[in-house]
Copies of this chain bind each other. A is one copy, B any other.
Amino acid sequence: MNQNLLYQHSTLADLTAGLFSGTMLVSELLKHGDTGIGTGDGLDGELIILNGTLYQVTSTGAVNVLQPDNQVPFATVNFANYQPETAIQEQTRDETLAQIAGRHPWQNLFYSFQLTGKFSYMKTRSVKKQSKPYPTLEQAANDQAMFEKHDVTGTMLGYYAPQLYNGVAVGGFHYHFLADDHDFGGHVLDFTVADAKLSMQAFTDLQEHFPATNPEFLNFDFAKHNDVASQIKNAEQ
């Protein structure tokens, strides 16, 4: 168990290309971390892993727990070793992200943050399970479900990737949310903090794991799919 290492299965580029089929068992993924985010098989919802349990927020808004024999096409996980940072009150998304970005000279590292507590506003989305032949991520994201909630208590889990890795991951911030009562969550589009605690964890290593036995991945021609950055911008932010 290496708390300095961030483990990622597959890449954002694979998702933007429409490689949505699950290529890693949940049982295998959880060997590499107890905390994380991802998406479901066939782009079936937004995933958040907290304390070793993998929650799936589907496009109906339902929150399920994925089982060991489920497969995922993309996920980022780590073993939690978050260090307490500060309390945050009454702040917008932009103020909060700027504060997180400014706390450490970590702009060239991968790091993670958690915000736990009360949010006066939370806007999330969840992508819908797609059928083959799969569309691109950008097309699928146009079909997403959006949810809003006021005065919700829960955990926001996020990752920061240096811009050099945009395409491998989402360059900048990427964060999901789960309400404490497990009836609300997803990929976060906007939020306002009421009263929450910030904790952070930096990584010295990124382990990128490829779906190396998946024929669709092995044979995909990424040279014909070279607009990954704008697709990520349109699909994830």
Contact = CB atoms under 8 A, between A and B. Distances in A.
A82 interface: no
Q: How many copies of this chain?
A: 2
A94 to B, nearest CB: 18
B218 A210 contact: no
Contact of A109 (B5, B108, B206, B212): B212
Nearest to A162: B222
A206 B169 CA distance: 14
B164 A228 contact: yes
Contacts of A164: 11, 13, 167-168, 222, 228
Nearest to A223: B163
Contacts of A203: 210
Contacts of A167: 164
**Overall SS of chain A's interface:** mixed
B163 A219 contact: no
A204 interface: yes
B105 A218 contact: yes
Contacts of A5: 207
Interface of A: 5, 11, 13, 105-110, 162-165, 167-168, 202-210, 212, 215, 217-220, 222-223, 228
Given A108-B210, A204-B212, 18 more contacts: A5-B207, A13-B164, A105-B215, A105-B218, A106-B218, A108-B217, A109-B212, A110-B210, A164-B167, A164-B222, A203-B210, A204-B209, A206-B206, A206-B207, A206-B208, A207-B207, A207-B208, A208-B208
